[in-house]
Amino acid sequence: MTNTSETRGILTQLNLAPGDTMGDYNQLKVWERAHELVLAVYRSTETFPVSERVGLAGQLRRASISIASNIVEGSSRRGDGEFGRFLSIARGSAAEVAYQLRLARDLGFLSSEQWEQLDGLAQEVGRMLYGLTKAIRKSAAK
């Protein structure tokens, strides 16, 4: 549960007042972790079979980029409602990445160790997005 002080903390982190979401995404911890996920996905998919470069590897890369990109785009929008919508889209992309990582592991493209590290990061980003979305929506409801 996110309380009012947590919401204020998130908005302060973005240098925002309630209702104003034009902020600096670089200051968001969730964006930092999402960016780390993109880099890790790119590094890991370099070893995928050539036949998967436009298939699963390409889809994993696009979905991971979508997470960070939606955080960036949402943080530049006016209004908490729009920001929350983009965070929700980012969360959906995080779930997509988590499934695609599992598929890559099951197909033998990722070792169990690689999968555990990447999946852990994807799950962490998803949880962070959920918390931030909840805080933003709570702020928008006021």
Q: Residues 64-90: pLDDT tens digits?
A: 999 999 999 998 887 778 888 999 999
Res. 137: pLDDT tops 70 = yes
Res. 24: pLDDT tops 90 = no
Domains along the chain with CATH numbers:
4-140 (1.20.1440.60)
Res. 55: pLDDT tops 80 = yes
Please give the pLDDT value at position 21. 47
Res. 22: pLDDT tops 60 = no
Which are the contacts of 118, defined by CB distance < 8 A and separation ≥ 6? Answer: 37, 40, 41, 44, 101, 110
Give the global pTM.
0.82
Res. 16: pLDDT tops 70 = no
Res. 41: pLDDT tops 70 = yes
If pLDDT is split at 50, 70 and 90, which confidence band does 57 have?
A: very high
Which are the contacts of 141, defined by CB distance < 8 A and separation ≥ 6? Answer: none
